[in-house]
């Protein structure tokens, strides 16, 4: 697939000013930020595409080259052989100026290393069909990588056991020049001596062994709304892992809900479906039945006389709650012919008499077939 024009990505024309570019990026980055779209698998790629467009158009030199050559600029990809890899931006930065210094570093300008958010966690939680119908408050016990309380995340035995890294002089990153075709590009990478932290530990904390984090058991209480669908992910902000440097915010905990099958109901969104076996007498003469329902009030089913197997009866407003909206779905009952199985002699005699009465109607097999065809039209 052809690479999209950077101006098109940001929704701008080629006469856009630097302020126009900045406003467009800020708006689209907030719109597509993965933290705001946890259920959209495409948000990350869209967010990365917006970042790449802004990285080029916000840099005067790179913008000039792009305006002249487009994506086929001399020297190949300005981001190196691996292409643009994206930048980790906290959503809070989009409301301030934090992203400007981040993108400035892509083409070699100096910036300080920002704090990063902790990793997100996914927990799968199963509930009953009835619980999905009514909703509930639930508790789970999870093990989470948390900040070590003994060293407050520093990893050192005492505050005096923390030294500035001599290799990177506390910056946490090293810069080197890399030749890419006819161009020289400045590459920034984590300092291997301090793993990008900018500091080294003289004596390690005995609790976390110098890592600054350790696993802890936590109880998490959360609410499951009525009518929730299987596969829905609930986001618990700040319940994920602590950041590696203990300075950034923790990640999020996503709880994926699934519900079990029901004894006779099947679900289609907010609608409920069920197959109801009925003997041929009730199908022919009609009847009224009551079945227990999850809302506490019996489900009244009125079968019209002359019903056929496969006919449906609809009951409005007795289905699942519409998750996030008012009202409820419907219940659709599909009528099935119930097999009589073994019957008593008395019942058999009565059926034979009934067959004789029906034969007196002189309905041929051909007319019965024609009637069946008519019903199917």
User: What is the average per-residue pLDDT within 295-317?
Assistant: 93
Into how many domains does the chain fold?
3
267 pLDDT more than 80: yes
Average pLDDT, the chain: 82
Which has the higher per-residue pLDDT, 41 or 259? 259
> What pLDDT score does 113 carry?
47
Long-range interactions of 94-102: CB distance < 8 A, separation 24+? 94/26, 94/29, 94/30, 94/33, 99/25, 99/26, 99/29, 100/22, 100/58
CA dist., res. 375 & res. 311, Å (int): 10
Q: Specify the pLDDT at position 325.
A: 78
Q: Nearest CA to 109 among 22, 25, 185?
A: 185
* pLDDT over 90, % of the chain: 40
Q: CB of 227 within 8 A of CB of 329? A: no
Among the listed residues 178, 176, 179, 182, the one whose alpha carbon sits nearest the alpha carbon of residue 73? 182
- pLDDT tens per residue across span 59-108: 888 888 888 888 887 666 666 555 665 554 544 445 444 455 445 444 44
Q: What is the per-residue pLDDT for 105?
A: 45
The per-residue pLDDT for 329 is 93
Residue 116 confidence (pLDDT): 77
- Same domain for 280 and 359? no
pLDDT in tens, 25-50: 888 988 888 777 777 878 888 888 88
Q: For residue range 153-186, what is the model confidence (pLDDT) as tens digits?
A: 989 999 889 898 888 888 888 887 766 555 566 6
For 366, the domain range is 349-377
Lowest mean pLDDT among 112-121, 152-161, 310-319: 112-121
pLDDT score, position 127:
96
Domain final position from 51, 72, 107: 107
**How many C-beta atoms lie closer than 10 Å to residue 126's C-beta?**
11
Q: Are both 288 and 376 inside the same structural domain? A: no
Looking at 319-362, list the stretches that DSSP marks H as alpha helix, in order from N- to C-terminal side. Answer: 345-359
Residue 38's domain is classified under what CATH number? 1.10.287.110
H or E element: which one contains 215? strand 213-224
Which of 44, 76, 107 delimits the end of a domain?
107
Q: Which pLDDT score is estimated for 309?
A: 92
Residue-by-residue DSSP string for 105-124: GGGT---PPPP-PPPPEEEE
pLDDT attached to residue 101? 45
- Residues 329, 362: one domain? no
Report residue 377's pLDDT band, with 50, 70 and 90 as the boundaries.
low
CA distance 37 to 29: 11
pLDDT of residue 125: 95
* pLDDT given at position 106: 46
Contact residues for 146 (Cβ-Cβ < 8 A; gap 6+): 213, 214, 215, 216, 218, 241, 242
CB 141 within 8 A of CB 215: no
Do 332 and 360 share a domain, yes or no?
A: no
98 and 12 inside one domain: yes
Residues 21 and 71 in one domain: yes
Q: Report pLDDT for 314.
A: 94
Largest Cα separation within the chain, whole Å, is: 107
How big is the CA angle at 343 (ends 339 and 345), to the nearest 5 degrees? 150
Number of other CB atoms surrounding residue 264 within 10 Å: 11
CB burial readout 87-105, b (16+ within 10 A) else e = bebbeebbeeeebeebbeb
Alpha-carbon distance of 301 to 280, in angstroms, equals: 16
User: Mind listing the pLDDT tens digit for each residue in 193-236?
Assistant: 888 888 889 999 999 998 899 999 999 999 999 999 999 999 99
**pLDDT for 18 beyond 80:** yes
């Amino acid at each position: 697939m052809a690479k999209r024009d950077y101006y098109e990505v940001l929704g701008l024309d080629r006469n856009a000013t630097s302020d126009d570019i900045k406003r467009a990026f800020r708006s689209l980055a907030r719109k597509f930020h993965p933290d705001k779209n946890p259920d959209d698998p495409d948000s990350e790629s869209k967010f990365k595409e917006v970042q790449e467009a802004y990285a080029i158009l916000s840099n005067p030199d790179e913008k000039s080259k792009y305006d002249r050559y487009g994506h086929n600029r001399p020297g190949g990809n300005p981001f190196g052989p691996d292409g643009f890899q994206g930048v980790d931006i906290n959503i809070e930065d989009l409301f301030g100026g934090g992203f400007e210094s981040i993108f400035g570093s892509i083409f070699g300008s100096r910036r300080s290393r920002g704090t990063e958010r902790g990793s997100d966690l996914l927990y799968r939680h199963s509930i009953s069909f009835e619980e999905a119908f009514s909703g509930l408050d639930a508790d789970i016990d999870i093990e989470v990588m948390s900040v070590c309380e003994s060293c407050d995340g520093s990893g050192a035995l005492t505050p005096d056991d923390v030294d500035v890294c001599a290799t990177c002089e506390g910056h946490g990153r090293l810069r080197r020049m890399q030749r890419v075709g006819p161009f020289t590009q400045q590459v920034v990478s984590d300092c291997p001596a301090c793993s990008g932290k900018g500091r080294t530990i003289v004596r390690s904390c005995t609790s976390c062994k110098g890592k600054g984090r350790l696993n802890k058991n936590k109880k998490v209480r959360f609410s499951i709304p009525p009518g929730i669908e299987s596969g829905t992910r609930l986001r618990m902000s700040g319940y994920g892992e602590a950041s590696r440097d203990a300075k950034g915010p923790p990640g999020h905990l996503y709880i994926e809900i699934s519900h079990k099958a029901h004894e006779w109901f099947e679900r289609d969104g907010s609608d409920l479906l069920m197959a109801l076996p009925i003997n041929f007498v009730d199908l022919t003469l009609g009847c009224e039945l009551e079945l227990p329902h999850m809302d506490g009030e019996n489900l009244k089913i009125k079968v019209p006389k002359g019903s056929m197997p496969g006919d449906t009866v609809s009951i409005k407003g007795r289905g699942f709650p519409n998750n996030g909206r008012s009202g409820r779905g419907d219940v659709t009952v599909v009528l099935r012919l119930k097999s009589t199985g073994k019957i008593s002699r008395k019942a058999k005699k009565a059926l034979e008499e009934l067959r004789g009465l029906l034969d007196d109607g002189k309905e041929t097999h051909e007319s019965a077939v024609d009637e069946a065809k008519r019903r199917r039209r």
